[in-house]
Structure 1
């Protein structure tokens, strides 16, 4: 569901904002190690020494002769390997946001509630230019580090602060999409007609019904169109010798996604 387009080029050769290189994944069976080119890492299968000119598909043995395969970071890998400052948006919900709003190369996105930054990075990897606001300075610093890991530092502007206090400084009708993952999203949705281009989209994620209802009411109040909310839920399938059925594991609810349009 996630768009894995990487507008920055090969992840293993792009520099990070600290002058280093984008780490690559070294994979063997169920083991994955994130290592920067030119570095080495000790593992339970021996020491991995990653050359500077490493490329996807290379095979690198440990000093004990155990082979690992080099893999470039793809979109879903960001969810697993970004440093976390909370619960990040899961890949299926990111896919819904991108699919429902049509985020693509050349779009400009205003995002609030950066958190870990998985959504912002994924939208940038789909080709968008993202301005994202995070209130917590420490969380914002982590998000900037994660943008470097995702190879999208040039495409994501992580700003520390409350977007509600900055709305007056933002150019009117300059964003194609507004994405919100904050408890006070309804108060920001009220400004959507001023922030969005004609035909632009709002996408709001919330784990709670109460805040979702407030978002829907705010969207209707400012006359956004096509306002709709879906619960994001997914069940894994179980296949064994007895037969096939949905897994008996807990129901896969993550939250509620509200989409509206500035038409």
Structure 2
């Protein structure tokens, strides 16, 4: 299987996105000689192989589909899961805030179904590395299966261990916690993050945010931020442009911080984490 984002034409073995009427979508792997059956008709894989991406095709009974290479958001939406996954709106903000990118070394605690792991592995590229910790074996197996399907498993070192014992890694660029009580593991997180590196966590309730903020301050993290991302879609109709009836609201609080190294100067103190609003110009 190949998740092929950089070619112009569909190839045998590609992971493809089929979009039908009312945006009904399917993600399948093409195999020569096979067929894909839906309630809107049958598509022969051989008829798709060799077509340019974006081509409109028709099932045996005349229903239209478009064939695309799936985006990261498409893949995460379609991913088999046993737990709630992060939304693309949150993942994108995490990446922008922490600088996750090609060559990054990222430590993740709470693999779950592997949605965030997939996004991280995609972002760090072939030169980066993800270390992902989980305590539930069935969840880890599901995550490994999901990443193998996308050809990303080699970028991830999966570990089965309680993070209360600490992490094997040190000097990682970014550490992401998606666990029930992240405030309990801040000393372990600090020991794993490189000086100046990033900490990030998704926290569901405001009470947990408060506990996490106190723990971060006690472990000499600074430049702390708390954010909540809302996403509203609009109906793409020029004459009647208006919001859709539903929006993606609260999915969790995002908490960010950076590891700092305090000076031995007796007057040294952590930066004030309260940010001023308005212009940054002095």
Return the TM-score normalized by structure 1: 0.82
Cα distance change of structure 1 residues 53 and 171 upon mapping to structure 2, 3 Å threshold: same
Listed as ranges, the gaps of 5+ residues in structure 2 are 261-282
Which residue is equivalent to 2:169?
171
Is residue 87 of structure 1 aligned with residue 80 of structure 2? no
Which residue is equivalent to 1:123?
120
Q: What is the RMSD of the two structures over their aligned residues, measured on CA atoms? A: 3.0
Which residue is equivalent to 1:4?
none
Cα distance change of structure 1 residues 11 and 49 upon mapping to structure 2, 3 Å threshold: farther
Which residue is equivalent to 1:134?
134
1:97 to 94, 103, 110: 94
CA distance in 2, matches of 1:22, 1:208: 41
Is residue 45 of structure 1 aligned with residue 40 of structure 2? yes
Report how far residue 149 of structure 1 moved.
3.1
Listed as ranges, the gaps of 5+ residues in structure 1 are 1-7, 14-19
Structure of larger gyration radius: 2
Answer whether contact 1:12 1:23 (CA < 8 A) is retained: no
Q: How many residues align?
A: 247
2:18 to 26, 29, 34: 26
CA distance in 2, matches of 1:84, 1:21: 23
Report how far residue 195 of structure 1 moved.
0.7
CA distance in 2, matches of 1:242, 1:23: 36
CA distance in 2, matches of 1:96, 1:161: 28
Answer whether contact 1:231 1:256 (CA < 8 A) is retained: yes
Report how far residue 171 of structure 1 moved.
3.2
Which residue is equivalent to 1:261?
258
Q: Deviations over 1:203-256 (max 9, x none)?
A: 010111122212111111110110121233344457999987766757711111
Report how far residue 176 of structure 1 moved.
0.5
Deviates more, 1:61-70 or 1:202-211: 61-70
Answer whether contact 2:79 2:146 (CA < 8 A) is retained: yes
1:206 to 192, 199, 203: 203
Answer whether contact 1:12 1:72 (CA < 8 A) is retained: no
Q: Deviations over 1:148-189 (max 9, x none)?
A: 23331111223333233352xx1322x100001111211222
CA distance in 2, matches of 1:151, 1:158: 15
SS in 2 for 1:73: coil
Report how far residue 260 of structure 1 moved.
0.4
Which residue is equivalent to 2:272?
none
Report how far residue 23 of structure 1 moved.
2.9
Which residue is equivalent to 1:57?
54
Higher relative contact order (CA 8 A, sep 6+): 1
SS in 1 for 2:250: strand
CA distance in 2, matches of 1:35, 1:105: 27
CA distance in 1, matches of 2:158, 2:5: 20
CA distance in 2, matches of 1:140, 1:257: 24
Report how far residue 138 of structure 1 moved.
1.1
SS in 2 for 1:154: helix
Report how far residue 114 of structure 1 moved.
1.4
CA distance in 1, matches of 2:36, 2:248: 38
